[in-house]
Amino acid sequence: MKDKAESNQYTETEILKMKQAASEAFITHYVTEVCKYLKESPAAHLAQYEAMLDEIDEQHSGK
């Protein structure tokens, strides 16, 4: 893959698969973090939870 990256020869399908994998990893990370916060103390982490949801929305809206 390194050779392809250096020569910019990825196909559109490969690029889309990489973007989707990155997006899924991003969502998995934040869902995991949200679950940790909710397990600890929902009220104490509400602002952080809302900020994470906003960040997820921004990530998926392409802002």
pLDDT tens digits, one per residue of 24-51: 888 888 888 888 877 776 666 677 778 8
* Any domain includes 40: yes
* Any domain includes 62: yes
Judged by DSSP in three states, 26 sits in helix
Count the domains in the chain: 1
Element (H, E) at 60: helix 46-61
* Any domain includes 58: yes
* CA atoms of 52 and 45, how far apart (whole Å): 11
Q: How confident is the model at residue 9 (pLDDT cuts 50, 70, 90)?
A: confident
45 near 35, Cβ under 8 Å? no
Against a cut of 0.75, is the pTM above it? no
pLDDT at 51: 83
For residue 36, what are the domain limits? 22-63
Q: Report angle CA 32, 35, 41 to the nearest 5 degrees.
A: 140
